Structure 1
Amino acid sequence: MNAFLTGVIFLVAFTATGTSIDCVTCYSTDGTDCSGEVRTCTEGQTFCRTLTSEIKKDGVASNQVFKYCGGDDEPHWIYREESLTTFFQLEVENCETDKCNEKPAQLTPSVNTTNGVKCMHCFKDYSTDCNSEKTIECTGDMNKCLFVSGNICNNGTAFYACALRHCTNIASADLHPRYDEVDTGNIQKIEISEGIKDA
């Protein structure tokens, strides 16, 4: 599942469309900061953008960061999902002045208290579906249940089909970072459901 989550940030970072502004452009797989060249963005790219991800697996955190030119005015965006062993957060910040993205990224802390929502919890390699009696108690703003299937896992040499169900903070499938891949066939299905609330 780590390979799936890591792949998300590559796709989001390089789908920017977006009066000229000078932005730091760089990438790092180790931490929430990177240094790189300052470049003048192309016409229509009016924001400097920092995209940061965090993956926590069994309590061990790792981060990646992209800094680049962006073309839309979305001020702030946070995507979260959580299984019993893994937490993933993807956060996008925009700013509007020259080199405003040169500082280290600051990830918005997640709330770890349960919110009364439960989701089915499963993960299955080489499958387009998974079901389980097991559930996960969602935390913080993750009050929806996520189902994703398709060629989203990687064994180190190739992508292959897998499926997962757990908690997320998005309200609809079109807000998922890899939603555009449904059209290409890489993602077979993304579904968001209300989950199970405690009585």
Structure 2
Amino acid sequence: MISLTGILSLLSALAATSYALSCTQCVSTTSYSCSGSSVTCPPGYRCGSAYTESSVSGERVSVSLFRACIASHECNFNGSLSIQHGKAKRVTSCCNTNHCTPTIPPFPTQSSDPNGVVCRSCISADSTWCYTSDTIQCTGDENMCLLQTTKIRGSVSASTAVRGCGTKSLCDLGGQLPDISGLSLKTEFICTSDGIRVCRVVLTPAIMCLLLLKWSF
């Protein structure tokens, strides 16, 4: 005999399966707030926000926010990548009611202790490839050599590439991104853990803002 609690749990699960959550979809490369259109999420997704901050030589130069439907297993994500003199960190948070606004989680404190991994380091703001003899010594939990490429198509077109040290969590991300205001974004990651695996470019705040777009889901 099924208990009342069991019946209620079953009904709740069925309701959650059939319920289509509506979330706000928008992006900002200047602040941690934005507004946009409503989008209906597929099953297994929640309203989420991805917050990113980039720094050059230890000073924050830019922030970005991406709000959309996020797969439940990608909520509470945090990750980072580093190149020579620059670092970008990202965290995500989620909520589960229509058009809710997730809270901004703190960026985790990261160790500056070398972990023994050395990777090539470069950045390109106009292609999906870069390579150099320059290297960076990885620290903390950034123990993967990472090549990250991004293609942006639509009302704005751009291609970027970054090589450096990254966390394993970043290596597990990637794929086609949702269309937002006429933009289609696709990010891909290639990672290795054996070290020394992206052309020296002066890292400016403008370039960092462009690269932040690729961290949108």
Q: TM class by shorter-chain length?
A: 0.5 to 0.7
**CA 1:176 to 1:66, structure 2 compared with 1: closer, same or farther past 3 Å?**
closer
Maintained 8 Å contact 2:93/2:105: no
Maintained 8 Å contact 1:21/1:45: no
Unaligned 5+ residue runs, structure 2?
1-18, 178-185, 197-217
* SS of residue in 1 equivalent to 2:168: coil
In structure 1, the partner of 2:33 is: 33
CA distance in structure 2 between the partners assigned to 1:187 and 1:140 by the alignment: 24
Maintained 8 Å contact 1:73/1:94: no
In structure 1, the partner of 2:53 is: 54
Please report how far the alpha carbon of residue 77 of structure 1 lies from its aligned counterpart in structure 2 after TM superposition. 1.9
In structure 2, the partner of 1:44 is: 43
- What letter matches 2:113 in structure 1? T
CA distance in structure 1 between the partners assigned to 2:105 and 2:85 by the alignment: 23
**CA 1:146 to 1:46, structure 2 compared with 1: closer, same or farther past 3 Å?**
closer
Q: TM-score of the superposition, structure 1-length normalised? A: 0.61
Moved more, 57-66 or 41-50: 41-50
Maintained 8 Å contact 1:172/1:192: no
Maintained 8 Å contact 1:143/1:194: no
CA distance in structure 1 between the partners assigned to 2:88 and 2:97 by the alignment: 29
- 1:70 and 2:70 matched: yes
CA distance in structure 2 between the partners assigned to 1:188 and 1:71 by the alignment: 17
CA deviation map 1:39-78 (0-9, x unaligned): 5845636511111111213423311112233354433222
In structure 1, the partner of 2:132 is: 131
**CA 1:41 to 1:168, structure 2 compared with 1: closer, same or farther past 3 Å?**
same
CA distance in structure 2 between the partners assigned to 1:165 and 1:98 by the alignment: 38
Q: TM-score of the superposition, structure 2-length normalised? A: 0.56
**Structure index of larger Rg:** 2
In structure 1, the partner of 2:12 is: none
Maintained 8 Å contact 1:45/1:69: no
* SS of residue in 2 equivalent to 1:76: coil
Maintained 8 Å contact 1:45/1:71: yes
RMSD (CA atoms): 3.9
* SS of residue in 2 equivalent to 1:34: coil
Please report how far the alpha carbon of residue 167 of structure 1 lies from its aligned counterpart in structure 2 after TM superposition. 0.4
In structure 1, the partner of 2:168 is: 170
Q: How does 1:40-189 map to 2 (within 5 A)?
A: 41-42=40-41, 44=43, 46-58=45-57, 59-103=59-103, 105-116=104-115, 117-123=117-123, 128-132=129-133, 134-148=134-148, 159=158, 164-170=162-168, 173=171, 175-177=172-174, 179=175
Greater fraction helix: 2
* SS of residue in 2 equivalent to 1:167: strand
**CA 1:75 to 1:81, structure 2 compared with 1: closer, same or farther past 3 Å?**
same
Maintained 8 Å contact 2:146/2:189: no
Unaligned 5+ residue runs, structure 1?
1-18
**How many residues are paired up?**
165
Please report how far the alpha carbon of residue 21 of structure 1 lies from its aligned counterpart in structure 2 after TM superposition. 3.6
**CA 1:33 to 1:144, structure 2 compared with 1: closer, same or farther past 3 Å?**
same
**CA 1:35 to 1:107, structure 2 compared with 1: closer, same or farther past 3 Å?**
farther
Q: Percent identity?
A: 23
CA distance in structure 2 between the partners assigned to 1:83 and 1:127 by the alignment: 16
Please report how far the alpha carbon of residue 27 of structure 1 lies from its aligned counterpart in structure 2 after TM superposition. 3.2
CA distance in structure 1 between the partners assigned to 2:42 and 2:81 by the alignment: 34
* SS of residue in 2 equivalent to 1:194: coil
